[in-house]
Structure 1
Amino acid sequence: MRRGDVSFWYVDMGGLPAPRAALAGDAAADVCIVGAGYTGLWAAYYLKQAQPDLNILIVEKEFAGFGASGRNGGWLSGGFAWNHDRYAATGGRQGVLDMVAAMGGTVDEVIRVCEEHGIEADIHRTDELMVAVNAAQLARLREEIAHKQAWGEGDRVREIGAVELAERVRIPGALGAMVLSGVARVQPAKLVQGLARVVEGLGVRIVEQTPVTGLSKGIVTTNQGTIRAPIILRCTEGFTADLPGSHRDWVPLNSAQIVTPPLPDAFWEKVGWQGHEILGDYANSYSYCQRTREGRLTVGGRGIPYRFASRTDTGGAPDQGTIDWLKGKLAQLFPEAVPYGIDHAWCGVLGVPRDWCATVGLDPATGLGWAGGYVGIGVSTSNLAGRTLADLALGRSTPLTNLPWVNRRVRRWEPEPLRWLGVRGMYRLLNAADRAEAQPGAGPSRLARLGNWLTGR
């Protein structure tokens, strides 16, 4: 079994991409984007669509797609996974409904761009299935469906029972599932690498192997030289904590995945899953799965969720305890897959704000913009963020720049060791809640509510 190597998705592509050249001394640009993941690349794409003559420079510490953009679970969902009420407090109900609608449009928009520019990313339109395997999970499922219906997603969401679920995919003990329509499965590294090629073709310059050491009004400092630009967009998401002065802005939560070898037809005949739905469960500790293009099965989850002092990984190698936890999830959901073993395990970080709600914004006084805090649903959210950043950078007032997540700021995370104790404590409580809810006749555990309250989830 391979560990790390950034992710399996790059192995699937034949290996890591050849690095682009580093910054060669001082430079100037109209817009400097820090971070060559989905968010930065989408922002560059829409800026060039709006104003082709812009001089745009993207600066990246490693290589384009090194972070979550090249490691995620491949869920292009367009769903709204944050707290509606928190956005409504400033944007009102209509503002949140507008944001839900805008998020829902990201799936079609990403697919449109890929088709227009020939980005082959194993995109497959499908449904999302969120499965309940006990009474407590079924109660949460129904609560979420009611909540989504109340906030403008009623036409996308419905409940199915055990029989209809088994006609799609057979999971031991499953009582039913929430179906969210209008989503897609993607190969994430193919998407980010294809997008990088497209923006380069539009005239955007990407420099790699160039760590940023400081950000201030009009200036990006790197170890290779100084970049001067009136607009600077920070698009570093889970790696934001690595930037000077930003280690408490967003917590870098760790998420990990395992993938099986290609599974034989006999396995798929037993399990079903012919629709290639993206699939998760209603456990408090949560897991997410994909059936890949060539018939592999991926399982992801938090594992060890946080490293002390907001440390981020480098090569994506998970610890053995996390791998064992993911194998346990595989055995629970798809026991027939266990004998085939695991080919690869990897991990990465995602950005989490103190209130677990994503933001995008730009300070006109300094020209400094930012986007992120996607809490694990960045494949689609980054597209909306990139479009919004482009409008903000160009000084436009548009429906996107008036959404309630724009220029929204929350307090920073606590200093260590409180941050470590809080996040680790939350996940211990969530895992304990899952064990309690697995008992016959158990309802939703109060331990989960306590864990979520602890960190403002």
Structure 2
Amino acid sequence: MENIWAAAPRLRPPLDGPAEADVAVVGAGYTGLWAAYHLKRLAPSLEVVVLEAEHAGYGASGRNGGWCSAELPVEAAVLARRHGRAAAEEMRRAAGAALDGIEAVLRAEGIDCDWHRGGTLYLARNRPQLRRLLAAARSRPDGWSLLTAGQARARLRAEGVLGAAHTPHCARLHPGKLVRGLAEAVERLGVTVHEGTRVVEARPGLVRTVSRGGARTGQTPAAFRRAGGPAGGTDPRIADARTGSVRARYVLVCTEGYTPGSRVLTLTSCVAATEPLPAPVWAELGWRGRETVADLSRLFPYMQRTADDRIVIGGCGAGYGEAPYDHAALRDRLVGMFPVLREAAITHRWSGVLGLHRRGEPSVHLDPATGLGYAGGYGGDGVTLAYLAGGSLAALVTGADVPEARLAWTRARAGRWEPEPLRALGVRAVLACAAGADRHEERTGRPAPLRGAICSLFL
């Protein structure tokens, strides 16, 4: 079934021939479009070109669960050990402020993406989850509020809830509407966006492309790597394609989970949506605050109540490489939490990718000597972090004296993942441990010490 966020794309002209620009941006997802937006705000005279293999938002930016959260994929204590307590706190504050920044842009640009800032409700549905919830709340003094089981059920009547926490630092949105509106906004600022234009080589001062005439569409990240990406050469199987190039002082690679190489680990997450639910069902469920919702399992489900009264649920596992997608687990978890949905139809199913760095920390980098830049490793928190990363990239390119240019992630470097097949074996082992730990906790109400310890090292 199709992606509920998808719409018939507006096909912008591909690049067909040589071009010149001050900045060439590879990828028209959130990171690339926010980088272009911030660049034009900081330096309106810059010539900025965005190159997209498919259409704006084709990748993770149009396939996620619609959480715009201020959470970071790496714990504040870990950031403090690596960069110092002040830098970790600055990073946390910047992620929180990004929510305000996105909301301000939505108002200024007239982007209607079903934005609703109701925060997140984290549910604990067994004793180990409750212990993790209490520990998380103690480590986050920035607006987290604990709820008793009764208070949680007054907000959302989910099965087996022992307690909950609410944080205001999250908004629900329609990710497809956001990325399409953002693409139109950067065009109004004078940015040129070429769709159907696959980058086959990115090096200092030059990007080489093939246009849709020969480039294949609908590729998985593995197929994207085989076809050649920003670090690769032209695939001979697309030799009949129309070629193009952009000469630019700066080249920003903003492909995140689709970036070839050994520094980004790509996982696949499944997402599904119910039919619009009738008023009697919502009367039984509650959820009047339209918070985003998750529980504290290790392979947690993330959910939202959409503007048209569906439930979108994602997570409950992750695939690696060519692993099959498991949408059945999403329905099982949904009905387990909300038995009233037993007869509700699942009308849409899709998947999306997310990128992880070796040490779990996102990074933003610009080499001033070569002009090559990169941002990514968001670990599933990219809806918000892409806005902030785009600001950091733009500040580094323009030399603007703004806080985004000095954030800790501009000093972080993504390490290399182990070579295959060790990488695949390790990832699948950790995911299996996480799934096993969740099953053990749900069945016994007790933690799974060995599996939990292994998971804590990586998740």
In the alignment, is residue 284 of structure 1 matched against residue 298 of structure 2?
yes
Q: Note if contact 1:254-1:302 (Cα within 8 Å) is conserved in structure 2.
A: no
Question: Which among 113, 127, 139 is matched to residue 119 of structure 2?
Answer: 127
Paired AA for residue 362 in structure 1 = L
- What's the counterpart of residue 170 of structure 1? 157
The equivalent of 2:256 in structure 1 is 237
1:213-254 alpha-carbon deviations (Å, 9 max, x no partner): 11111111212212111111111011113xxxx2x1111110
- Give the whole-Å Cα distance in 2 for the aligned partners of 1:64 and 1:237: 14
Aligned-pair distance for 1:426? 0.8
Give distance in 2, aligned partners of 1:252 and 1:19: 27
Q: Distance in 1 between matches of 2:86 and 2:329?
A: 41
Aligned partner of 1:328 among 305, 328, 332: 332
Match for 1:298 among 298, 309, 312? 312
- Given the alignment, which residue of 349, 356, 377 partners 1:352? 356
Aligned residues: 427
Trace 1:79-228 onto structure 2 (pairs within 5 A). Answer: 79-148=71-140, 154-223=141-210, 224-228=243-247
Which position in structure 1 is the counterpart of 2:230? none
**Partner Cα separation in structure 2 for residue 421 and residue 302 of structure 1:** 20
Is 1:427 aligned to residue 427 of structure 2? no
Q: 2:279 aligned with 1:265, yes or no?
A: yes
Q: Deviations over 1:177-198 (max 9, x none)?
A: 1211132110000000000000
Match of 2:4 in 1: 8
Q: Aligned partners of 2:345 and 2:445: how far apart in 1?
A: 33
Question: Aligned-pair distance for 1:341?
Answer: 1.6
Q: Does 1:249 align with 2:263?
A: yes
Are 2:54 and 1:50 equivalent residues in the alignment? no
- 2:234 — aligned with what? none
**Residues 263-295 of structure 1 deviation map (CA, whole Å, 9 limit, x = unaligned):** 011101111001100001111111100100011
Where does residue 451 of structure 1 map in the other structure? 455
Whole-angstrom distance in 2 between the partners of 1:429 and 1:139? 19
Aligned counterpart in structure 1 of residue 31 of structure 2, from 15, 39, 45: 39
TM-score when scaled to structure 1?
Answer: 0.91
What SS does structure 2 have at the residue aligned with 1:159? strand
Tell me the CA shift for residue 130 of structure 1.
1.0
Q: Can you give the 5+ residue segments of structure 2 that lack an aligned partner in the other structure? A: 211-242
After TM superposition, the runs of 4+ consecutive aligned structure 1 residues lying more than 6 A away are none
Secondary structure at the counterpart of residue 100 of structure 1: helix
- On the 8 A contact 2:272/2:349 being kept in 1, the answer is yes
Give how far 1:16 is off: 2.2
Amino acid across the alignment from 2:342: V
Tell me if the contact between 2:361 and 2:414 (Cα under 8 Å) persists in the aligned partners: no
User: Aligned letter for 1:432?
Assistant: G
Q: Distance in 2 between matches of 1:80 and 1:348?
A: 19
2:105 aligned partner, one-letter code: V
Q: State the identity %.
A: 41
The 3-state SS of whatever aligns with 2:361 is coil
Partner of 1:343: 347
Greater mean alpha carbon deviation, residues 217-226 or residues 396-405: 396-405
What is the Cα deviation at residue 441 of structure 1?
A: 4.2
Q: TM-score, normalised on structure 2?
A: 0.90
Do the aligned partners of 2:117 and 2:168 also contact (CA within 8 Å) in 1? Answer: no
For 1:70 and 1:117, locate their aligned partners in 2 and report how far apart those are by CA, in whole Å. Answer: 19
